[in-house]
Amino acid sequence: MGSQILGAEIKSSENREYGKTKCTIKDHSSLFASLDKTINVWMSHGDQAMEMSDDFQSLAYTENCPYAAARHNEKNFYGVQFHPEVTHTPDGKQIMKNFLFKICECSGDWEMSSYIKRTIKDIQKQVGNERVICGLSGGVDSAVAAALIYNAIGNRLSCIFVDNGLLRMNESERVIETFKKNFKVDLHFVNASDRFLGKLSGVIDPEQKRKIIGHEFIDVFKDEANKLADIKYLAQGTLYPDIIESVSAHGGPTATIKSHHNVGALPAELGFELVEPLKELFKDEVRKMGSELGLPDDIIWRHPFPGPGLAIRIIGEITQDRLEILRYADEIMIHEIKSAGLYGEIAQAFAVFLPVSTVGVMGDERSYENVIALRAVETTDFMTADWVKLPYEVLASISSRIINEVRGVNRVVYDISSKPPSTIEWE
Ligand code: XMP
């Protein structure tokens, strides 16, 4: 859009570029200093700049894209068509460094400890003498948000943990145990399983599921918060990728990929003001912050789990039977991955329930049962991801254990798609 304003002609290109693309560098003087002549970059676009005004010169090109990077001759403006910020552009960090230190002349004295201090001050300034509630999900984001806010305002923070019936096996027990041990904050546990599952009965559309869960979550919160006196703020562990995938950087409309329920128009109905201290951070930075705040490793390194939980990992209708099958299959998968020592190397691993009946043989009997799909991805930013090449022995033990131990499943498949064009979750 920036290049369009400055006179470029933007066209929907015939050969859309998605994924790893070879990029040839024409100019090594600034943005691409110290890089090879040809680099791999991650592309994800349908439109591109075909012609630019004479004020611009192309710094790099790909087979389909004449302006993979461009510079304004006078104004020190730079633009790239690819994604330097994702891990799948291996030289992305160097490109960013060149931009920040060579072009913008930044000094690079940023540290997590000073960012924490600044954020704590921001929270104190925003909250004043008011009270805050924070929803703990068991995941790293809400835990770090809570720890940070606790550091800022102490016992004016109350934490609420909602069991929505869509959690993984033994999750609520684990969360309560962990937070009672690790946090000295006021923790309220709400078992709202029946409320959520009742509302979700018969619903198959993923966005509908998200909306219902989002609204219900807010309602449960309201009910619980009403029991606590004088709460003005609601804290959320919203991260930067949640914001850019759900709303444009300028607050305008964008092609929404998935409506992450903790971002968007909902907070206005809450009656609370929001505190979102992690909204400038990526996941790896949140983990770094958690570590500096002294949170235990099992919280910091736990794979992320989406707010709508197992609801978006059961394709189609959510039933108690399906939830039980999925919980068990997921637990087996994670257990086997941990036993193989691979959990820490994987960004996110989980099972998905497919409501597809396929034929199998069990003993002498013909079976006609459901499919479980396994998904394991590697990524640091969750905006792009590759599927993990899990060793065959690990896949074999997961598959045979699921088929032998989980009633109602006679087939296990492994998802070998990357993001984009697929997403990490199936719904
Ligand atoms: P996708 O599927 O969009 O997932 O590639 C990217 C990351 O976001 C998580 N995710 C969600 N988290 N509410 C959440 O809080 C949601 O509705 C939601 N959908 C996806 C997903 O688990 C992955 O980590």
288-319, pLDDT tens digit by residue? 999 999 888 878 888 989 989 999 999 999 99
Q: Which residues pair with 134 in a beta bridge?
A: 159, 235
Asked if residues 402 and 412 have their Cβ atoms less than 8 Å apart, the reply is: yes
Closest ligand 1 atom, residue 419 Cα: 5
CA of 260 to the centre of ligand 1 (A): 7
Contacts of 381 (CB under 8 A, 6+ apart): 85, 86, 87, 241, 282, 283, 284
The interaxial angle of helices 320-339 and 392-405, nearest 10 deg, is 150
Asked if residues 403 and 412 have their Cβ atoms less than 8 Å apart, the reply is: yes
Sign of CA dihedral 219, 266, 178, 230: negative
Nearest CA to ligand 1 atom 9: 306
Closest ligand 1 atom, residue 348 Cα: 24
Ligand 1 binding pocket includes 206 (Cβ within 6 Å):
no
Ligand 1 binding pocket includes 88 (Cβ within 6 Å):
no
Q: Tell me what pLDDT residue 261 has.
A: 42
Whether pLDDT at 262 is above 70: no
Sign of CA dihedral 134, 135, 138, 141: negative
Mean pLDDT of 6-18: 71
DSSP labels for 373-410?
EEEEEE-SSSSSBEE----HHHHHHHHHHHHHHSTTEE
pLDDT in tens, 378-403: 997 788 999 999 999 999 999 999 99
Which pLDDT band holds residue 363 (cuts at 50, 70, 90)? Answer: confident
Nearest to 159 by CA among 69, 249, 208, 224: 224
The pLDDT > 70 percentage for the chain reads 90
Question: Best substitution site from 44, 424, 426 to test ligand 1's pocket, by max atoms within 8 Å of Cβ?
Answer: 424
Q: Tell me what pLDDT residue 263 has.
A: 35
Q: How far apart are CA 69 and CA 11, in angstroms?
A: 16
Nearest CA to ligand 1 atom 24: 304
Question: Best substitution site from 217, 258, 310 to test ligand 1's pocket, by max atoms within 8 Å of Cβ?
Answer: 258
Ligand 1 binding pocket includes 423 (Cβ within 6 Å):
yes
Residue 329 identity (one-letter amino acid)? A
Query: Which whole-number Å values give the CA distances from 345 to 139, 306, 334, 342, in the listed order?
Result: 17, 19, 13, 5
Q: Where are the alpha helices (DSSP H) in 276-389?
A: 283-292, 297-300, 320-339
Question: Best substitution site from 86, 218, 377, 425 to test ligand 1's pocket, by max atoms within 8 Å of Cβ?
Answer: 425
Contacts of 115 (CB under 8 A, 6+ apart): 289
Q: Tell me what pLDDT residue 408 has.
A: 96
Ligand 1 binding pocket includes 79 (Cβ within 6 Å):
no
Query: Which whole-number Å values give the CA distances from 384 to 18, 27, 86, 90, 284, in the listed order?
Result: 11, 27, 7, 13, 14
Question: Best substitution site from 382, 383, 427 to test ligand 1's pocket, by max atoms within 8 Å of Cβ?
Answer: 382
Mean pLDDT of the chain: 88
Q: What letter would DSSP give residue 293? A: T
Query: Is-above-0.95 flag for pTM?
Result: no
Q: Which residues pair with 350 in a beta bridge?
A: 375
Closest ligand 1 atom, residue 425 Cα: 2
Between these two residues, 72 and 110, which has the higher pLDDT value?
72
Task: Determine whether 58 is exposed, middle or buried from the number of CB atoms within 10 Å of its CB (0-12, 13-18, 19+).
Answer: middle
